[in-house]
Amino acid sequence: MTTSATLPELTAPDDLIERDQWVLWRREVVAGRETKVPYSARGHRASSTKPADWGGFEKALSVWRRHPERYAGLGFVFAADDPFVGIDLDDCLSADGNVKSWAQGIIERFSDTYTEFSPSGQGLKIWSKGRLPANLAGVRLGDGQIEMYDRSRYFTVTGQVFRRAPLEVEDHTSDLLLLYDRLVGRKIKRWPLQPLKGGRIPYGQQHNTLVSLAGTLRARNVCDEAIEACLQMVNERQCERPGPRAHVSQLVRSSRKWGATA
């Protein structure tokens, strides 16, 4: 039996630890299949939509260490009012621990943000800051699948850092939205995604690039707030000569007229 003395050390980024969005979890059979069920530190089943069921990191960790026979570990709940997004890459690692080809580009794109092994050891979970139009579950990629959440779901947290991933959660708004767009559109053919390929966007092309990106996202029913966040990120990080933020905001407002025809 696992004892508190043999439990692994659990590390996590300070951005996550400082929030009262922690639960515990254990494996249970629900509707005929094994499921990772979240629990509050008070011992009852937790809901990923009820903040009253969540609590601080230290409290959850203390309960886990006192009752390792009862719980498998800790989990973090994504909430609508936090800046975090989770990417769950199921079965993305081969038996020898190498990243499978379908996941390689995604992992490289998010290599500067916190990434850890899943409880099975065969998948990875990536934390980022950003926004999604909506949660996205069960999209098949290669022989695995990908899920993306920014609210009303939780991730198990193993603290087993993948390779040399930093204990920092970085902002990848533009990458998240472009990946989301490809997943929803089922256009997953290659990575990196346009228009970010090739580094800096030349000054003479940046307006048309931003216009095209806004149209693409709007055609996928991405909300105005997420479109602007994406365009501002591309403008600041990818454009050779970033334009005024007010200009980008005006471009987003103008894109409403284009609708799905852009």
Averaged pLDDT of the chain? 86
Whether 204 is covered by a domain: the verdict is yes
pLDDT digits (tens, 9 = 90+) for 85-109: 999 999 999 999 999 999 999 999 9
What is the sign of the dihedral through the CA atoms of 231, 233, 239 and 241?
Answer: positive
Contact 72, 37 (CB under 8 A): no
Convert the pLDDT of each residue in 125-139 to its tens digit.
999 998 887 888 888
User: Both 146 and 205 in a single domain?
Assistant: no
**Do 183 and 87 belong to one domain?**
yes
143/167 same-domain check:
yes
Residue 123's CATH number: 3.30.2250
- The token pair at 57 is 């990191």
pTM for the predicted model, two decimal places: 0.74
Q: Residue 253 is part of which domain span?
A: 195-261
**In this structure, are 242 and 209 located in the same domain?**
yes
Residues 140 and 146: their CA atoms lie apart, in Å, by 6
Q: What is the total count of domains within the chain?
A: 3
Instruction: Tell me the C-alpha distance between 126 and 162, whole Å.
Output: 10
Q: Are residues 208 and 111 in the same domain?
A: no
| Residues 108, 176 within the same domain | yes
